[in-house]
Every structure is written in structure tokens, then in C-alpha cells.
Structure 1
Amino acid sequence: MHRVAILAMHGFVPSDLAIPCDVFGRLQAPDGAPAYRVTVCGEAEEVRTGAFALRAASGLDRFDEAETVIIPGIEDPSRPIPPTVLAAIRSAWAKGARVASICSGAFVLAATGLLDGRRATTHWIGAAELARRFPAITVDPGVLFVDEGRIVTSAGASAGLDMCLHLIRRDHGQAVAAQAARLAVAPLDREGGQAQYIRHEPPGSAASLAPLLDWMRENAHRPLDVETLAARAGVSRRSFARRFREQTGTTPLQWLLRMRVLLAQALLETTPNSIDDIAMATGFEAAVTFRARFRRFVGVSPSAYRRRFRAG
């Protein structure tokens, strides 16, 4: 069982702490066993934030047992970080833990020095200040999360949920991550490079592409092009491309390609179908194209992915 330790500092952002507790805490592996064991580790026995106080289940010493350490955001990033907190994070890292931050938790992680020379993100409001205070970090203010291997940083609020789902996909594959997304009633199709600044139209508005996105998910296996999608949306190709980027942060074909890869991941995990059959079932013209696209998005070949995550 993968051990997750979540930091609770004075002045933590409650939602940033609650999201990983909820997402990791109730997830089951394919064999029905709990996928993660979650522990909240306080910088003190009682941690104060906003209108309430939290009594942490454990202290910072539990970081040494963790395989993943999550650092939630803090209300005041200018507050000096206690040396005991920095030492605990560095110790967990030295023992091989993966370390991830949500929102302004990037300021805590940056203070350890572990982000020096790396790319990172945080909530767009604090990105300029993070870059000013820590010039050794390459701050990208326009993405949902940045995966640097054992160090992952995310923007605020819902981007923290996207990051948690991404970590679950890394650990357990697409099918388990999809279950986590369903439990959280959240989409699984937002990737790290999606922009923080997207304009989301209300689902019921005439300008919203939500119904079309649902249709594209259901028909990702079919041959689709921009002309077909624009016609279905009832707008010109140029207007469709502009509106699509405003609402999703990417192009229609890149979004569709992402859906096809997600579908292929699920089929690789849950069916014995051949690579060629999966390529055809997910809308790729040829197996060689499928293999190249899959490796570019996932980082490994379809066969290697199947060996790692095939259920049963």
C-alpha cells in the first residue's frame, strides 16, 4: 500500500489539504484493497487555520515513512517556513519520497531548495512572486501542474485535484484513475499543460462547447476532423478553433488525440485485445501511428504500459 503523508502547517488552505485526503484516502486498487494509506502530519499537535483548528493524527516524523509527501497551500506565503518543516521535507526526499505541492504550497517546497534548477508552477496570482523570491526556479504560471518526476507542483484549487488524479494514473493506471475521478465527480481529461486562464462558459449557454466535448468523448474512435466538429457546433471553422482554445486551452485535434490515448490506456489495462485492434478501436489510422502517439503522450510504448498496468 502506497503511503501518503500530507503536511498541515499553521495557516494551511483547508481545501488544498482536504482534496488529497479525499482522493487518495478512499481509492481502491483493482484487487479491492486500499490503494493508499493517508496520514496528516502537523507541524504542531494542533494546527490553526482560518476559523478552526485541526488536531493532526501524526507529527512530521512520519514523513520518513512516506512514499509521497503532499504540501497543501498556505494562506500567507510570506510567512517564514519553520526549519523543522523544511528538514522533514528534505529528509523524506533523501529517503526516496515523491514530493508534490498544491497552489501556494510551492513556496514551502521552494524554500527547501528542491525546486532549484527545475520547472514549477503555482496559482497564477502568486507566480510572479515565486519567480522573484526563487530565481533558480523556472516558474510556468500558465499550466495546471508540472511533473518533474519525483517533484510535482500544481496550481490552485481544482488543479490540485488534477494533479492527484495524474499521480494516481502514474501509480495505478488509467482505469483506477478513472474510478478516482468518478468518485470525485471530476473530469479526467485535463492534462498538466492546459492553461490556468481558460474562460469557461456556463454549460447551458449557447457559447458552451460542453455538449460537443461529451459527444467527442463518446465518438473519439471515429474519424473526426475540424470541419465536422465545427459544423456540429454550428459555427465557422475559424470561430470554432478560437472558441475551443478559449474553453479547453488546446486545439480540437490535440484534445481528441488525448481522448483517444486515454481510451487506449483503459483498453490496454482491461482487455486482452491486440495492439493493432486497440489502435483501430481508438480511431488511429494505423498501429504504427498509434504506437508513436501513445509513446509521446504516455512516455512508454503500449506494450510496456500493458505489462505494468494490466489488471489481473
Structure 2
Amino acid sequence: MSAGLAALLDDIALIAKAAAASIDDVGAAAGRASAKAAGVVVDDAAVTPRYVHGFKPERELPMIKRIAIGSLRNKLLFILPVAMLLSQFLPWLLTPILMIGGTYLCYEGAEKIWEKLSGHKLEEKTPVSELGPEQEKIMVSGAIRTDFILSAEIMVIALNEVASEPFLSRLIILIVVAIGITLLVYGAVGLIVKMDDIGLHLAETKKGGLASFGRGLVKAMPGVLATLSTVGIIAMLWVGGHILLVGTDELGWTGPYDLVHAAEVWMGGLIPAIGGAVGWLTNTFFSALIGLFVGGIVVAIMHVLPFNKKKPHEPTEDLPRPTEVRDSSAPAQDKPKPSDP
């Protein structure tokens, strides 16, 4: 009897060790997948604060909470099932889908640069804080829509990293990535948007070094937000360009990837002590250039070239005309009678 109990305990111990090893493997794989998506994560964290800019301080965290819930819903309810089905039955579609998303990121980054250089960005005539709850709903909905694209990129990049894992492992890893990255991104966003309030609180309620630190935070936050916006643009170009670079290589056009890889190896060999960092920066630089080039082409198609732009002299009979307001003192004019057949 005792021998049977000992054998059962040994079996339980082996199962526990296997489960622990499996958890470790899932955790490591989730970490690798999250690291691969780091560029999009930076972009996501950089983009979101502008959606709550201008609202009353007490509304900022509730808005971020609603955006975070929408982001998690995007990942778990919409993107995850589609990604798992594709990885199981149509894995060859993952690379083209990644490249489409990468092209979109290149376009977003290039468009922001074009707006800064051309001054074409539309400015709001009314501060968003004066537009009420309806505008808050609009901004939250817009943030969730933008997040859908970025979340799709994060999930597909993560899936591509663990594509060789069994189905259940892939599912668990992607759930871990979805929850972990959402908490990371929107926790960081919440901290960023409230940093000036924290600084103001320290400046008003504390003395000495803490008060000075608070005043420094308040003064630094505009520069931090501007820097974060610039980092977000670079991240979009870098991530989008790298996705296209790797995608073309996987689809058979190896020339661009081979050239960038050769430059990466050569630059890394110049300074062996920090060769890995130099090589990574080289790859990032050329990926960003590719992203800027591809994004610039899409921006030209969407904004610069005169496609689908109506000329001033084109007829507009199909458009409804505004109701004419006639001066009641003016003599009425008889309507023209239809001609006899």
C-alpha cells in the first residue's frame, strides 16, 4: 500500500515538474513574442496620450480605462480567434497580413512627418474640453479604432514568433501577451498623462527637494510628450520597414534583406565591444529608411496626387442644394411652365 502511495506521489511530482516547465516555456515564449512587438508597443504608448489631451484632469484616467478595455476586447475577442484560425489552417497568409499592417504603419509615420513639414494638419477651433461627453465618446472610439491596427500588429508579430508551438501553447502565449502588453501600455499611458498633476501636487503640498522635483516635472512634461511623439513616429517607420524587409525576404525577394544584413554585420564588426548594439542600430536605421520610402509613396497616393479630387468647375447637380431664403419684400417670380409635349 505504501509503495503504491509512493509511486502515486512520484507521478504527481513528475506532473507538477512538467507543468512548471511548461509554464516556464510559455512565459519565456511570451517574453520573446512581446520583445519582438516592442516597437509597436512604443508606438501604441506614444499615440494614446493625444486622445486625452485637453480634457479635464478628472476625466483622463476614466478615458484611458475605457480605451484599455476596448484594446483588450480588440485583442481577445476579435484578433485572437482570427489569428489562431489563420495560423492553424492558412499559415502562409500571416506574412502578407503582416506586410499590409507594416505598410499601414509606414504610412502613419510618413503622414505625420508630412503634416509637420507641410502644415496641413487641421487644428481644432474649439478646445475638446468644451465639447462635452459626446466628444469624449468620439475620442475614445477613435483611440480604440487606432488601437485595433496596432493590436493586430502586436498579436500577429507575437504569433509569428511562436508559430512552431502547439495550438494550445500558442493560444495561451497570445492571451498572456495580450493581457500583459495591454496592462503595460495603458499603465504607462496613465502614468504619463498624470505626471504633470503629480508634479503640481508635489509643488503645492511639499517643501524643499520634493517641491523642486514637482516643479521640474511640470516643466518637463511638454518636452517629454513631444519627445514621445517623435519616438512614436520613428517607431512606426522602423517597425513597418522591418516588417516589410523581413516579409519580402520570406516571400522570395531576398536582395533588400541581404544588403541590410551585410551592412549590419559590417558595422557591428567595426567596434567589436559594442558590435551587437551597433548592428541593431544599423538594421533599425535602414528599416526606418525603407519605412519612410514606402510610407512616402502611400502618402503621395493618398494626399498629394490629384486622385478622386473634384475640380472647382465640375458640375454638382447630384448634390442637394441648400434651401434658398428669399426676401419677402422682393416681387415673386412666376415659375417657368413646362413646355407642352
Look at both structures and tell me which one has the larger radius of gyration over its CA atoms: 2
Whose RCO is larger (CA < 8 A, sep 6+)? 2
TM-score exceeds 0.5: no
TM class, shorter-length: under 0.3
Q: Which has the higher strand share?
A: 1
Q: Which has the higher helix share?
A: 2
